[in-house]
Structure 1
Amino acid sequence: MNDDIDWIARSGLKAKGKRPQFLAPEDDRLLSMLMALVGEVSVIRERLDTVERLLDAKGTISRADIESYVPDLETGRDRNLIVREYLARVMRGVQQDMQALSEIEPPIEDVVKEMEAG
């Protein structure tokens, strides 16, 4: 972990420019908080996976073992799949809403072609 970065101070910084808004302001804030929480849970799950793998391999571990652990390619693939499945479950409602919208309105490319054709 990089001790040189003040993550609490950085979290309060404001981005340059206007923040894009896709939903009602309160929904956008809620989604932002949810995604931050999803990221934190994902990190905890990865760290727990590290602890479990080290315990399986060594029987006992230290904090230094956890901090210095570097997953192999297979572990990386396993974790990638776990995260993708997790995100798919969390974002299921949003994905369904997006699919419903695409069924209602044609893609913008089709609208542009239709307008160009006349």
Structure 2
Amino acid sequence: MSDDAIDWMLRANAKAKGKRPAFFEEPALDRMLSIVMALVGEVSVLRERLDTVERLLEKNGSLDRADIEAFVPDRDAAFERGCLTREYIARIMRGVQQDLEGMKTNEPSIDEIRRDLLES
């Protein structure tokens, strides 16, 4: 199926079946989280595409769109990309991870530490 036959706006506006997950008491925060995570996904894709461009330029000295679209990373490149993606996601999710760890050890969350610092 060609891109011309796909209604991308229709796909972008498709609604998932079932109830949306709620993580926060305030629905606006859940919407914001959804937007941020969508942006995280887009940036991740852009990072991989940039990596493709850099590798092709290094190898060939030039490139065209077909080279980019046809590029398949070798095993080493795929491993490197995987490591970079995991590091990227870990940085983004650092605050959440710290809060979860704090719950396990009864340490204050980042929000509690911030609030205490602002109040003092």
TM-score range (shorter-chain normalised) is: 0.7 to 0.9
Q: Distance in 2 between matches of 1:26 and 1:86?
A: 25
Q: Distance in 2 between matches of 1:5 and 1:77?
A: 32
Alignment-derived partner of residue 49 in structure 1 = 51
Q: Alignment identity in percent?
A: 58
How high is the TM-score relative to the length of structure 1?
0.81
Instruction: Report the alpha carbon displacement of residue 35 of structure 1 after superposing the two structures with TM.
Output: 0.5
Alignment-derived partner of residue 62 in structure 2 = 60
Alignment-derived partner of residue 75 in structure 1 = 77
**RMSD between aligned alpha carbons?**
1.4
- More relative contact order in 1 or in 2 (CA 8 Å, sep 6+)? 1
The alignment of Structure 1 onto Structure 2 pairs a total of residues equal to 103
SS at match of 1:14: coil
Q: Kindly tell me: are residues 70 and 27 of structure 1, through their superposed partners in 2, closer, same or farther at Cα, counting changes over 3 Å? A: same
Q: Kindly tell me: are residues 28 and 69 of structure 1, through their superposed partners in 2, closer, same or farther at Cα, counting changes over 3 Å? A: same
How high is the TM-score relative to the length of structure 2?
0.79
Q: Distance in 1 between matches of 2:8 and 2:78?
A: 25
After superposition, residues 1-118 of structure 1 pair within 5 angstroms as 3=3, 4-24=5-25, 25-104=27-106
Amino acid of the structure 1 residue aligned with 2:14? L
Instruction: Report the alpha carbon displacement of residue 103 of structure 1 after superposing the two structures with TM.
Output: 2.7
Instruction: Report the alpha carbon displacement of residue 99 of structure 1 after superposing the two structures with TM.
Output: 1.4
User: Where does structure 1 lack aligned partners over 5 or more consecutive residues?
Assistant: 105-118
Q: Distance in 2 between matches of 1:94 and 1:60?
A: 42
User: Where does structure 2 lack aligned partners over 5 or more consecutive residues?
Assistant: 107-120
Q: Kindly tell me: are residues 103 and 52 of structure 1, through their superposed partners in 2, closer, same or farther at Cα, counting changes over 3 Å? A: same
Amino acid of the structure 1 residue aligned with 2:36? L
Alignment-derived partner of residue 118 in structure 2 = none
